[in-house]
Amino acid sequence: METTGTPTQNRTPLGRVIGLSLGLAVIVSVVTIAFAWPSSNTGPEDVPIAVIGPPEAAEQVAERLDTAQPGGFDVVEAAGPDEAVEMIEEREVYAALAVGPEGVDLYTASAASPAVARLVGGIAEQIAAGMGEAAGQPGAVQVTTQDVVPMPEDDPNGAGLAASALPMAAGGIIVAVLIGTAVRGSGRQATAAILGPIAVGAAVAGILFWLGSVEGDYWSVAGAITLTLLAASWAVLGLSKLLGRAGTAIGAVLIMLVGNPLSGLTSAPEMLPAPWGEIGQYLTPGAGATLLRSVSFFDGNGATTAALVLAAWLAGGIVLYVIGAVRSRVSEVGAAESEPVAASV
């Protein structure tokens, strides 16, 4: 008697099903932590801020800032408003405070970080309120704010700039994966890995200018985005050429799951839990975010380290790609030479 049914050997072992479920839980948990943890723990950590006035005044203001946000600010001195403004424009500090008997003068740069500008503004209001109460005149001390480097009028909260984090991070991964799967030949892959990021960078820059999210020179902005994409795509492509699918996964994790949440583009690196904000600046999304802000709003000030980091990722990716390509070529030649040759009779 013949019976029909699914053979037992074709069924996935129960242990593998359980392992797959647990693996999915771990992966989703890691993704959730990577994206939610930095946001849920946002707060100032040694944010550089200038205090205008003599050392005694700076010490007093530093004490008030430390009371409001313990460990939140790294206070430096500025001799006067002009020096403070210059420090802000050169991206040495995020803001500056001058506290006097008649009020509090606040200098900010919302283009550097709207989140930090709002935070320092709130603390300045607290200082002014405390001074008024101490003088027996609540509300008498006012805060005068000057936004030295403001965000564009069309995007005052930096929503468009923050949204650019995804194409800069995911774009490099997508470019690398498409090239690795759709383009054959090392030379043609290398050509595509150059032309692809240039085209994507030009398009993303055009969109950001169209939305009014960035300012400055178009070619500088496009160049910053292109360099970020080149660094990310070559890093993933190099790892993929050397390690195969495992290399693609490693590159995607480094850029998307680690680098993107730690980029600081939506707030500031100093607003992320230490030391992750600083670590994020040495990955392509964080370096790219800093470079984009610098060339768009600060005439390139503060861009040197970010550009060097991206250049290092790009160079490293190229080296890995060359090693992988040479190794593949050697393997192909070795396999061809080892094939038996049929003898003629």
- List, in order, residues 6 or more apart from 311 with CB less than 8 Å away: 227, 231
Asked whether the beta carbons of 120 and 94 are under 8 A apart, the reply is: yes
The Cα-based distances of 86 to 92, 112, 217, 301 in angstroms read 9, 14, 21, 11
Say which range, 138-147, 176-185, 221-230, 330-339, has the weakest mean pLDDT. 330-339
**Nearest Cα to Cα of residue 96 among 104, 106, 86:** 106
- In order, the DSSP letters of 16-70 are HHHHHHHHHHHHHHHHHHHHHHHHHT---SSEEEEEES-HHHHHHHHHHHHHHST
Q: Give the 3-state secondary structure of 103-149.
A: EEEEEECCCCCHHHHHHHHHHHHHHHHHHHHHCCCCCCCEEEEEECC
Longest dimension (CA), the chain: 114
The answer on pLDDT for 161 being more than 70 is yes
Pairing of strands 73-78, 47-52: parallel
Average pLDDT, the chain: 84
The Cα-based distances of 187 to 4, 183, 316, 325 in angstroms read 54, 10, 18, 10
What is the model's pLDDT at position 9? 58
Asked whether the beta carbons of 296 and 216 are under 8 A apart, the reply is: yes
What is the model's pLDDT at position 15? 77
pLDDT tens for 72-126 read 888 888 888 899 999 999 999 999 998 877 788 999 999 999 889 998 998 888 8
Give the single-character DSSP code of 156. Answer: T
Instruction: Give 166 or 228, the one with higher predicted confidence.
Output: 228
Q: Report the distance separating Cα 325 and Cα 331, nearest Å.
A: 10
Cα 206–chain centre separation: 20
Q: Report the distance separating Cα 51 and Cα 107, nearest Å.
A: 10
Q: Report the distance separating Cα 42 and Cα 276, nearest Å.
A: 11
Q: pTM of this prediction?
A: 0.84
